[in-house]
Structure 1
C-alpha cells in the first residue's frame, strides 16, 4: 500500500510499496477515506512525545470503507462506511470491563503506539472498534469523530457546566470543539482565547459568545471582571496552563486537555487545594462515540467548518513537511483518499 511513513525525527516520507497490514478471522480491512492530522502526530515526529519509534505509520483520526472481512466477523459487510475508534484493548481486564479500555495494559492506539494508522491506505480493526458513518456525513466529518470523542469525554466529566461561564484557551480544533460542547452541555456564556485573530473569528461563527486575543488585552484585567467557573486548556501552552489555575473561580473546574511534551511541573498544588478546584482530563471516551455522532447529526456540533484544508493523499507530502515545520496556517487539515 501507499503510506506516509515517519522515518526519523522531523521527517516523513511517502512510500509506494509499504506493507499492507494483515487482518485475522475476527478483524476487517478498511480502506481509509479520510485521515485527520493531529497535533499529537506532529509532536511525535518532532520528538516531543515518545509514544512510538520510527519507522511508523501515524494517524488515529480515521474514517473509511470496509473492503475485506474475516471469516468470523458478524454484522458488517464489504462497502460499509465506518468511523474507526483507534483504541485497541484486550476486552477482559478491569479497565476494559469498566469502560476505560484506553487504560488497558495490553492495548494501545492505532497510529500512535499500536499498529499501522491512517497515514496509510489501509487499516485493520476489530468490529468492536467500528461505528457506522451516517450517509449524510462526509468521510472528512467521520475523521473528526475521534477528536470530538476525546473532547466530549472531557466535557461529559465536568459537573458544574450547566449555568456556568466557560473560558477556553486555544482556538485550534480541540478548542473549537470545546466551545460548541460547552454550549450543548448548558454553559450560559463561552469565551474563547487565543493569540491569533483568524481562528478566533471562526470561533465566533461556531458559537463562542466572546473572543479574546491575549496579545492585545491584559488577562488580569479581563478576568478580574469575570466569574469563570470552568476553564479549559486546549492549546498545550505552558503559560495557558498557569492561567487556567490562576483565573478560574474558587470551587471551579479546570479541564486539562492539550499536550505539550514538557517534562517540568506546570501546576501549583497549593493553588488547587487552596481554591478547592476540580481537575478533569480525557484522552478517550469509549462509551460516547454514538453520542458524538448524534450531536453532529443534530447540528449541535459543527465539525465540517473546523476543517479548513482537505488535501488528496497523493499530493500531501509537501504539505506534511510544512505542517511538521510549523509553517501551516490551517486550523485543521484532513487527508482525503
Structure 2
C-alpha cells in the first residue's frame, strides 16, 4: 500500500509499504478515504513527539470504509462508513475497568511505530474503536470527529455550564473544537486568543464573543479589563507555548479552573505560586472516550457543530509533505488540512478482495 512516512525529522516521503492485515478475531480492516494533519503529526515531523517517533506512519484523524472483518466481529460489516477512536487501553487495569481507558498507562495509540496510522491507505483496528458515521456525515466531516472530540472531552471534564465566562488560549482546530463545545454547554462570554487574524475570524464566526489577536494587543490585560479584574471561570490551554501557560494562571478567577489540553514540545516552567494563592484547580485533559466521539458525530450530523469552516484544504496523499509544511510553517491561512487517497486504489483493492466484491455485488450501486 501507499503511505506517507515521516522517515526522519522534517522529512515526509510517500512509499509503498506492507499492507496491515487482520490477525485477531475482533479486528477490522479499513480503507482510509480521508485523514487529517494534526498538531501531534507536526510534533512527530519535528522529531519532538514523545511516542510518534520517526520513522513512523502517523495519522489518527480519519474516515473510511470497512473492507474486512475478523470472524468474531459483530458490530460492523464490510462496506460500513466509519471513523476510529484511535486509542485503546489494556482493558484490565483500574483505569480501564472504570471507563478511563484514555489514561491507561499501557494504552496503544494509532499512528505510532507499533500501530500503523491513517497516513497509510489501510489500517487494522480493534472492533471496539470503530465508530459508525451517520448517513449524512461526509468522509471529510468524519475526519473532524477526532479533533472535535478532544474539545468535547475537555469541556465536559471542566464542567462548563450556563453563563460561564471562559478563555481559550489558541484558536487552532483544538481551540475551535473547545469553543464549539463550550458554546453549546451554555458559556456566554468566550475569549479566544491567537496570533493569526484568520483563525480569530473563524472563531468569531463560530461564536467567540471576544477574539483577541496576541500580535497586536496584550491578551492578559484585555481579558482582565473586560472582566473588571476578576478573570474568567475557566481557561483552556490549547497551544503548547510557555508564556500561554503562565498567562492562564493570571487570567483565571480565584478558585477557577485551568484545563491543560495542548501538547508541549519542550518541558515548560510554571509560576506555581499562583496555584496556591488563588486556589486554582488545574485539570489535565487527555484525548477522549467513546462518549465524546459519539457526541461529536451526533453534533455534526444534527448541524449543532458547523464544520464547514474547519476544512481549509484537501490534498492527495502524494502531497503529504506540502500539507505538513503548510500546517507547520503557516504558509497559508488554514484551520485543517486533509489528505485524501484517490478512489482508483480502492477500486483495485475491491477487484482483488472476494469479501468486499461479494458485498458490493449485492448492492445496486457501487459507491466509489
Which of the five TM-score ranges fits, normalised by the shorter chain? over 0.9
Residue 29 in structure 1 maps to residue 29 in structure 2? yes
Equivalent positions of 1:192-211 (< 5 A) are: 192-211=192-211
Q: Which structure 2 segments of 5+ residues have no match?
A: 342-368
Counterparts of 1:29 and 1:112, CA distance in 2: 17
Tell me if the contact between 2:4 and 2:317 (Cα under 8 Å) persists in the aligned partners: no
1:278 is matched with 281
Structure of higher CA gyration radius: 2
Counterparts of 1:231 and 1:109, CA distance in 2: 27
Residue 45 in structure 1 maps to residue 36 in structure 2? no
2:302 is matched with 298
CA pair 247-335 structure 1, distance change in 2 beyond 3 A: same
Residue 334 in structure 1 maps to residue 335 in structure 2? no
Tell me if the contact between 1:28 and 1:126 (Cα under 8 Å) persists in the aligned partners: yes
- Report the alpha carbon displacement of residue 231 of structure 1 after superposing the two structures with TM: 1.4
- Report the alpha carbon displacement of residue 37 of structure 1 after superposing the two structures with TM: 0.3
CA pair 333-268 structure 1, distance change in 2 beyond 3 A: same
Report the aligned-residue RMSD: 1.7
1:259 is matched with 263
Post-superposition Cα deviations, 1:5-62, rounded to whole Å, max 9, x if no partner, equal 11111111110x2011121222111000111101111111212222133221000111
The farther-off stretch of 211-220 and 182-191 is 211-220
Q: TM-score under structure 1 normalisation?
A: 0.94
Q: TM-score under structure 2 normalisation?
A: 0.86
Equivalent positions of 1:62-141 (< 5 A) are: 62-112=62-112, 114-141=114-141
CA pair 160-264 structure 1, distance change in 2 beyond 3 A: closer
Residue 316 in structure 1 maps to residue 320 in structure 2? yes
Tell me if the contact between 1:151 and 1:282 (Cα under 8 Å) persists in the aligned partners: no
CA pair 110-309 structure 1, distance change in 2 beyond 3 A: same
1:187 is matched with 187
2:254 is matched with 250
CA pair 160-127 structure 1, distance change in 2 beyond 3 A: closer
- Report the alpha carbon displacement of residue 220 of structure 1 after superposing the two structures with TM: 4.5
2:225 is matched with 224
- Report the alpha carbon displacement of residue 314 of structure 1 after superposing the two structures with TM: 3.1
1:146 is matched with 146
